Each structure stands twice: as C-alpha cells, then as structure tokens.
Structure 1
Amino acid sequence: MVNLKRTREDVLYNVIDLVHRQGFHSTGLKELLSSSGVSSGSFYNYFHSKDELGHALIDFKWHKLKSALFGIPQPDAIAQLFAMIDQLEKIHQAEQPCAGCFLGNLIVELVEHDASFRPHLIKVFDEWQQEIARLLHAGSSQLKPKVDPDRLAQQLLSAIEGALLLGRLYNNPERLQHYLDGCRDLLTASLR
C-alpha cells in the first residue's frame, strides 16, 4: 500500500524548484499547494506563513548545497575547492534554463521584503565563506606567501555568486563555464 502522507521535507523538496524558477513572491499559494501535493490545512500545519516557508527553503537548500559542494572527499583542501567550483558548474549546467543561485536570488528578492531574511541569508553566506576559508587555511602551504586565506575566501565567494548571477542573466552554458573558469583562475593565481 502506498503511503500518501507527506512530510515537511517532502513539501520543501517539491516546491524548491518552482520557487527557484519563478521567484518566491511570484509563486502563489495555489501553485505551492499543487506542487507540494498537500492541502492548505496540511501546508499550514508545516509552515505558519509563506515567509516561514521561505526560511525553511533557505535552510533546506543550504543543507543540500553543503553536502553537494563539500561532501565528496578530495586529496587535499585546495583540490576540495576546485571540486566545489566543478560541482557548482555541474549543478548549474544541468539546469536549463540556468536559474542562478537559489540563495543568491533570495538575497535580491527577500532582504528588503522582511528584515528577518537578511540575517538568515548572511548566516548562510558567512558559513559558506568560512568553509572556503577553512579549506584555504588547511591548504595554506600551497598558497603564495602573501595570500590572505580569509580575504581570498571572500573574493572566491563573490566571484562565484557573480558567475551564477551572470549565468542566469545570459542563460548561456558556455558563458557560465567561462565565468566559473574565472573563479578557478582566481584560485590558481593564488597558488605557488
């Protein structure tokens, strides 16, 4: 017998692509309910408001992204960073049309809508930058002597987000590859 009961995670999984493609504000409740496969009563049992859904989607996406970007063991910390960029490219090249970074898109769309989204997204991007910095510190013997791992982490994250934003704008797989190659070049130029 098929279990038709949906869980909170099922709802998040089923609506995240819709929100990613259409935007949080442009996605109506009817579309969310249809995509999630739950009734409005069940939906509000999981999320007291659409904004609460937005916060849950941020955490859900960050958890999935962290696993995808940093969950595959590499020979060393610098190789892990190159693998992170490669994995981002793989993820975003598979999306056609390119929808950009889900989390980056939410910065543009939500931080002015509700003040609670700003610190939440700052926390996520700080964690991402700290993970990059941690790897750069671990691989510091491979970096040029004057390279500051913390500053390079900030530059890499900025370059990655810029690449994904422009990837969405141009919706051209070759351009996206070139933009992410710029991230690789930034890392390579920092190596001995």
Structure 2
Amino acid sequence: MTRTSTKHFTREKLLDQGVALIMERGYHGTGLQELLAGVGVPKGSFYNYFASKEEFCAEAIGHYIEPFIQLLEGYLARPGLDALAALKGYFRELIEELERRGYQGGCLLGNLIGEIGDTNPVCRAALRGAVHRYRDTLERGLARAQREGTVRADLDAGVMADLLADAWQGALLRMKVEQSTRPLEACIGGLLDGYFKAS
C-alpha cells in the first residue's frame, strides 16, 4: 500500500470512528484523543488528516450521508420496481435497521442540527449540503412516481420531498422517546400510502 493510499485508509477509519462517536456522544462529547485511540493513530496526529475538529465534523457529515443516498439510489435503480415501491422499500429497510439497533442513534444530521446547527458555521454548511442532497434524491424519486401515476401530481415533488425529509427527522426524534418504530411507520405510511398517493 502506498503512503497516499495508507493515509486515505486511515482517514476513512477516522471518519468511520468519528461518525460512531458523534452519534453516541454528540459533537461536544467527542474528544480527539479518544477518536485517535479508537483507530490506533498516534496522539497528536489528528492535524495530519484534518485542519480542525470543525472540518473533521463537516467531513464526517458527508461521510455519514453518502451510504443513505447510495442505498436510496440503489432502490430507485432496481429493475421492475416503480419509484413509489422503491421509496417504501428504502424506508422499510431503515426502519428495520433502527429496530435491530434498539432505537439508538436516530440520524446524525438531526442530532447535530439540534446540537450545533445554529452555532457552528462550518458544520452548518455541511449539514445544509447533506440535507439538500438527501432531499434532492427524494425529490427525484417522487417526481418519477408522479410520472408513473402512483403519486399525486397536484403537489410539487420538491415540496413533497421537503415534507417527507422533515417529517422523517421528527419521527426519528419521537422514536427515541417512544422506544418504538411506530412514529416512523406512521410517518411513512401517512405520507407514501396516504397524503402523497395518487387517488
């Protein structure tokens, strides 16, 4: 492995570990020494990989959201699956995974928006970018469902995508309090099987 690829591999491990720690302890509760120790990186080496804790968190946000976008795009690309069924399948997989994890964590974006969304400009920009990327992917799926005739056409797909993303974040918070997937199921069922569905 070359020095460049080794550095990239270590950087990815730091981001993986950072996402896990931030999910568990929040931005302020995540210490750099603990992060480095978890990956086996020598003390004091953090700044070889990231310019600051803020920039690290901003990159962790992008690192976190990418698999969710890829999973959603994967569902939308499945042959023989219409867009509405793809969206339902995607959210069903997320709900099942959250149930397996015992309702822990929720969403890193929602957690960080609540903790530092209005106080940390670097992370706020990264959060806004991640939320918009996710929302835009939902919009593409809903727009296709409109063309396929399974989702109502009298509402803008972007408006519906905003509502779906916002309602899902709220349902994730409620899930933590209720220790149940019922808020998630009610959110997705109420929108994809109810309000958004073509009559």
TM-score (norm 2): 0.84
Structure 2 counterpart of 1:87: 93
- Contact map agreement 1:12 1:36 (CA 8 A) in 2: no
Give 1:37 deviation, angstroms. 1.8
Question: In the TM superposition, what is the alpha-carbon distance from 1:46 to its structure 2 partner?
Answer: 0.7
**Total equivalences in the alignment:** 185
CA deviation after TM superposition for structure 1 residue 32, in Å = 1.3
With 113-122 and 20-29 compared, the bigger mean Cα shift is at 113-122
CA–CA distance in 2 between the matches of 1:134 and 1:58?
A: 22
Instruction: Give aligned-pair identity as a percent.
Output: 30
Structure 1 unaligned blocks of 5 or more? none
Which letter does structure 2 place at the counterpart of 1:51? E
Distance 1:113 1:37, change over 3 A: farther
Partner residue in 1 for 2:12? 9
- Using the TM superposition, give the Cα deviation of residue 51 of structure 1 relative to its aligned residue in structure 2, in angstroms: 1.0
Check if 1:49 corresponds to 2:52: yes
Q: Say whether 1:177 aligns with 2:182.
A: yes
- The offset of 1:98, in angstroms, is 1.4
Cα RMSD over matched residues? 1.9
Q: Secondary structure at the match of 1:142?
A: coil
Match 2:121 to one of 88, 104, 115? 115
SS at match of 2:152: coil
Aligned partners of 1:149, 1:100: CA distance in 2, in Å?
25
**Does 2:162 align with 1:159?**
no
- Counterpart of 1:132 in structure 2 is 138
C-alpha change, 1:105 and 1:95, in structure 2 (3 Å) is: same
Give, in whole Å, the separation in 1 of the partners of 2:56 and 2:39. Answer: 12
Report the alpha carbon displacement of residue 8 of structure 1 after superposing the two structures with TM: 0.4
Once the two structures are TM-superposed, the CA of residue 97 in structure 1 deviates from its matched residue by: 4.9
Are the counterparts in 2 of residues 68 and 87 from structure 1 also a CA contact under 8 Å? no
Is the 8 Å Cα contact of residues 135 and 161 (structure 2) preserved in structure 1? yes
**If the length of structure 1 is used for normalisation, what is the TM-score?**
0.86
**Contact in 1 for aligned 2:58/2:123 (Cα 8 Å):** yes
8 A contact 1:20–1:99 mirrored in 2:
yes
How much has 1:44 moved relative to structure 2? Answer: 1.7
Task: Name the CA distance, whole Å, in 2 between partners of 1:31 and 1:97.
Answer: 25
Cα separation, 1, equivalents of 2:94 and 2:38: 25
AA of the residue aligned to 2:134: W
Deviation at 1:113, TM superposition (A): 3.0
CA contact (8 A) 1:98 1:168 kept: yes
In structure 2, distance between residues paired with 1:132 and 1:8 = 29
Give the Cα–Cα distance (whole angstroms) in 2 for the partners of residues 124 and 113 of structure 1.
17
